Structure 1
C-alpha cells in the first residue's frame, strides 16, 4: 500500500502566520520600549564604548583642579574658609585661567567668618577678635575676588523650596517650537549664598543626571528646565564664560513643540536628545587631567603649572573619598562628577559627539522586521539548519553595520533588539520542530519499549534509528559484584520484601557506578555487572571502576544501618574488577539484541569476584587494574588464585582505599609490613613467624580498613598462593592434563 505524504503547505503557512504575528508583537514591544529593552540597549552602547574608547588629548583646554586627599591633609577638612578659596581663585586667575567653574555648592554663609563666630552662642566668651576684624565677612571677601575673574558658580537640583530663587546668568535664545519645554525639569535650585550669586560671571547646574538617577552616567543634560527658565549645565556655562559668549542658542523642531535638536554656543554645535541631553563618549580616566589644589595654593609662580592652567577652563571638584562625588561611567570606571563635566567639554572641542536620532531608531526597527522575515522564510522552506546559517549571516551584517556606524560616524545603532527578534523567531520555529520530533520519538518509544531497554532507545535516537549487529574491540574495565549471604537473607524475608530490598540495594549500588561514569550491563539475580570505557571513552577507567567499588562499600555500610535492614542480618558484597580487551557492541539476533561486552576479561572479572570468599576480602582486582591504577589507589598483593576455565593462575590484589589512604603514613607502614610478610611466605619461613607477622599486619590494618583483619587471619592457610613455584607447577599440571585428554 502506498502512503501519500502529508501536505506541507498548511504547516508552512501556519509557520509564516505565527512568525508574522511574532514580528508585529515585537514591533509593539519596541514602541513601548519597556525597561529591559532599554537597559539591554544601553548595555550594548556601553560595550561599543569599551571596545573603542575615546583617546585622551592633553592639549585640550580643559583641566580639573582636584581637592584631593593631599589638599585636605595640608589645608584642613572641608569646607575650607572662603578666604582660602579666594586665594585659590586669585592664583588661578593670575595663572591665566580662561574660566574657573566650581563643581560644588556655596549654599550657606561661611561659618568661619568672624562676624558669625562672635554671634554663635556656643562660642560666646570663648572667641575674641580684634576690633577691626569683628565685622569681617569672608563671603564678602570671596565675592570681591570672584568678581575679578571669569568664575562660574554651581547650583544643584533640590525638591524643597528654600532660600532665594536662582536665576541663570546666561541668555537663552530659542529657535523652533519652544524647544526648552521638553527639558528635564528641576523643581528647585539650591540657592547661592550672597553676595556670591551677584559676583559670579555664570551659574550652572552641577548635576550629571536627573534627580533620583543612579547607576551609569551615559547622558548629561546641557540645559535644564527650572522654575526661573532654562538653566545651563556647569560645563556648557563654563564654556560660555570662557569664550565670552552672551547667550546660548537652543535649536528645536519647527513642527513639534518641546523637541530639542541641538545647542549652539559660538562656533560650537552640540547635537542633543529631544530633552536636551548629550551622549558622553568616554575615555579612560587620566591622571594628566587633574591638578592638585594643594599645588595651586602653595606655589607662588610655577612655569609648569602656568602652562597647565593658562588659557584653559579649570573645573574645581573633589575626588576625596569622604565627599561622595563619584559616578560610574560606561567604561566601568568610578570617576569624580567633575571629570564627567570635563569629558563633555573635551568632546565639544574635538567634535566627537555621539548621535542617535529617530531615523536611527526606525532603521533598528526595520532591521528587526527584515531579520524576522528572513528566519521565517528560510526555516519554513529549508529547515532549522539553513535558517540558522541565513539568520546568522544577516545578524552579522547588522552587527557589522552597527560597529562601522559607531566607528566612522559615532552613531549609536542598537543591534540587541533586532538580534533578539531574529532569535525569538528562530526559537519559535525550532521549538515547533522540536515538538514534532519529540512526538515522533514518543511514538517510536511506545512501539519499541516492549522489546528493548531504554538505554538502547536513547542510542536509537542519537544514531538516527540505524542500530545494527556487531561491535568493536577495545580496552575496558569490567566489574562483577555479588551479594554474600544472600541465601540466609532470602530465607528470612518474604519474596515481595526480598524484591523490594534488592531494588533498594541495587539502586544505591547502581548510583555509585553511574557516579563514576560506569555502564550497568545487567542485574543477574543477586549480582550486578558493569563496565567502563564504553559506549563513551572514559579516562582512567580502571581507577574509576575501583573507586566505584569503594563507593559501593560505603553505600552498603549505610544501607545496612538503614531502617530497611533493621532486625535483619547485614548484607555483604564481593566485588571483582579486571581490565582487558573485549568486543563491545550490539550482540544478539537480528530481531533482538543487547548492548553488552564479550571477551576473556568478562570471565576474569567474574572469577575474581568468586575468589573473594577464598581470599576472605570483599574487593579484589586483577593485575592489569593494579598496574594501571597503583599510583592512585591503595592496594595490597593478595596472591595467585585459580580461576575456573583459566590454565594459569591469576595474581589478584586487595583494594584497600583511594588516593587519601594510599598517601597516609599508616598505609605506608602497613604496605612495608605486608611486603615483608609476602617475602616470608615465598621464602617458606616458619609457620609461627608467618602467623606473628599476620597478626601484626591485622593490628595495623584495624584503623585503616577493618575488613583486612579477616584477610590477614586467613593468610597462614594460604601461604601457597604467594609462592611462584605453585603457579609453574599448576601450569605443568594443566598441560599434562590436556595431553592426557588428547591421548585418550
Structure 2
C-alpha cells in the first residue's frame, strides 16, 4: 500500500483522530484509575487480595510466630480459681502470669488492659476502712521490677491508675488505639520513630524486640487470627507455672516471643480486620494451651490485631506503599493497553478483554504483595477498563461514524468495499490488481441518438439518469457493481470487487429483470420508444486501479471485457435485448431456456464463439421466427418461473 489518499489529506484525518482518541482514552483511564486509590471499596478488594494470596500463593513453609497471646477468656473466668474474683481485682493474677511468661523467656510483655482502678483505694462503705490496702502491691512490684520489658495500655477514655503508672514508669504506659481506613477496617499502622519513645504499645514492643521498621505498613495476615496465633488461656498459664513439666511447656510457648495479654470475651474490644475473609487453621496445626481457644467471632479481638501487626513487622509479613511514581506508571501502562484494545479490537470481545485486564491488574497487585509492596488493587483494572470504554465509545461515535459517512458519500462513485478499505487504511491501493473470474455486462440504451436529437439537453440528462437509476437498482440487488457509465451505456461487473457465489446466474437474472422492467422504465422516462440491449461475457480479467498518482480509476480490464462489447453487436444484428457468450451459458443451471443465436468469430478475436439468448418473449425486439403466435402472445416471463 502507498500513502497519500485524499482522505488522509484532510485537516484531521483518521490517523490523527485515532491518535487523539487514544490520548484522551489513556488520560481518562489514568485519572479515573488513580482516583480508585483509597476509594471506599478499595479496602474490600485488598482484603479479597489477601484471601487470594492465602488460598493460592502460600508456599506452605511455616515459621515460629514471634508473638503469642494469653487471653482472659470465658474458660478462665469460669475456672475454679478465678470464678470468684471480680475482673477489677485480678492484678495479682496478672502479675503472677506475667512473671511466669517472663521467667519462661518472653522478650517483652504487653497488657491490653487499662488497669484504671486500684483495689488499694477501695474502702468499706459502712466503716470507711481500706480493707484491700496492699492488694495491688504484687502487680506494682512486678511492673517496677520489669520496667522496659512490661507495658500496659491506655485508650482515649481510659488511663491506668496513678499507682500503676508510678510503678511501671511513664514509658511503660502506651496507647492501644488502632486507626481504621475509610471503610472502618483496621489495616495500617504508622510507627513513630524512635520506637522506644513512641506513644504506641505496638511500637514499644517492636522496639523491645529490636525491630527496624520505619515506615507505615499494612500487615498481611495468612489466616483467621483467632485460629492461628499461638494462644493460651490465662488459667492455663497460671496452672502450668505450678509444675516443672508445666513450666517447660510454658517456656516452649513464651521463649523468644512477645507475649500479649488481653480480653477475649465476645463483643469486647473487637474490630473489623483484614483477616475476616481468610481461611481458618486446624486446631491440630497451631499452638494452643490445654484449655483450648475461644470460638471465632464475626469481628477480631483487639489483642489479636495488636499481635498480628507486631508479628507482621517482626517477620517481614507486611507491605509498604509503592515507590513514588510507580502507581502512576502502572496506571498509565494499563490505560494505554485498554485504549489500544478499545480502538482496534471488535466490540464483542471487549468484555473478555476487560475481564483479562482486571485479572492482570489483580495479578500485578499479588506480585507486589510478594515483593512487600501494596499496589492499590483497583488502580490498574479501573485504568484499563475506563480507557477501553472511552476508546470504544470514541471509535463507535467518531471513527466508525466518519467511516460510514465516507462510504455512503463516495459509494456513489466507487465500490463500497473499495471505499471501506481506503477509509480504514487511509491509503490508495497500488496500481494494477489481481486476476479474477468475472461476468462483464454492457447495457446500452437503444435509440439514444435519435431521442437526444428531439429533446433538450436537460431532458436528455433527466431521461438517462432516470433510466440508469432504475437499472442500477437492479444491478445492485443482484450483487453487481457498476464499473462505469459510457455515454448512454453502463458497464457492470459481477464478482469484482465483491465476491459473488454464482456470478453468471446473478448477471443473467439481473439482465432479465432489467428487460422485464422496460415498460416501467418507459413510463418513468416518458419515452415510449426507449429500448435496451444487454451483452454478457464471462472470463478472467485484471481487477484493480489504473491511471497515475494524481488520477486513477477502479476498473476491470482484459479480453473478457472486449469480448463482452463485441457480443453486443450480435444482439444488435439478431434484434434481441440480451446476448450472452458460451462462457456465461456454461455457468447457468439447465433450467434456463437458452437459445443459440449465432456462432462465429467476433471482430478482433481469433477464435469462434457461440452466442445465446434467453428464449422468452420479452427478449426479442421483433417476433421470434422460431416461436408461434400463441407463444408470442404469452405474458412476460420471470426467471423465478423458469422450469426447474
Tell me the TM-score normalized by structure 1: 0.42
Which structure has the higher relative contact order (CA within 8 Å, separation 6+)? Answer: 2
Tell me the TM-score normalized by structure 2: 0.48
Structure possessing the higher radius of gyration over alpha carbons? 2
